[in-house]
Amino acid sequence: MKSIVILSAACFMASAPAFAETSSPAETVSSNKTYFYGGIGTIGLTMKDKPDAITEDITPNLSLGLGHEFSEYIALETFISFSSTEYSNEWNPFDNTKIDLSLSQIGVSVVPSTGELGNSGIKLYARLNASIVSADAEVSGSSLNGYTLNSSDTGAMLDGGVGIQWNINDNFMIRGEYLTNLADSSLDDFSDYFDYQGAQIAVGYRF
């Protein structure tokens, strides 16, 4: 967490010139771009203090986003994402109960960056996500006599992260990033029992 805060602060400091300088026409053409991306990775729920008897299986998360670069140093995005984690007790052959926990998010992001490092096409960035969340739980197994129990809750989450982006050319880009939950609201004791974190890779198109 400390390293994320330090790198985020560095990205914010690096983006400061974007608010103080006026871009030339050439810079505007290259940096003021709209883009979309799709990502997949290991971002999801992990249980704190998980008992050894419980198996935790994270389904690869999926995300889609649309963003706009207002300058070389700052961008805003809107996104949707889905993640799922399944829990089971594989130590007990007589207990086939499975619990599936999933999170669906829709939100907005502020993405400050260092700008391109030299002529490499590579830049470092930080991310702050604010999202509306739907948390769903599904319990199934023979102990329920064929029935499935479902429950859901809605709330809000604040996530932060850091990443690296490579602009392969003027249109295509690839990203790798790590995200973690910073705070949540109206999700009962969510943060007391679970962490929400992980890494993902995304491919995007700028136009």
Residue 22 lies in a domain: no
Residue 95 lies in a domain: yes
Structure tokens at 50: 């998980």
User: How many helices and strands (H and E) does the chain possess?
Assistant: 4, 9
Question: Does the pLDDT of residue 98 top 90, yes or no?
Answer: no
Average pLDDT for 74-90: 94
CATH label of the domain that carries residue 144:
2.40.160.20
Global pTM? 0.79
Q: How many domains does the chain have?
A: 1
- Give the tens place of pLDDT for each residue, 150-160: 788 899 999 99
Question: Does the pLDDT of residue 201 top 80, yes or no?
Answer: yes
- Is residue 106 within 8 Å of 79, Cβ to Cβ? yes
pLDDT value at residue 9: 46
Residue 196 lies in a domain: yes
Residue 24 lies in a domain: no
Question: Of the candidates 127, 78, 81, which has an alpha carbon nearest to the alpha carbon of residue 102?
Answer: 81
Q: In terms of residue numbers, what domain contains 188?
A: 2-16+34-206
pLDDT value at residue 17: 47
Residue 157 lies in a domain: yes
Residue 90 lies in a domain: yes
- 18 or 54, higher pLDDT: 54
pLDDT value at residue 102: 94
Residue 29 lies in a domain: no
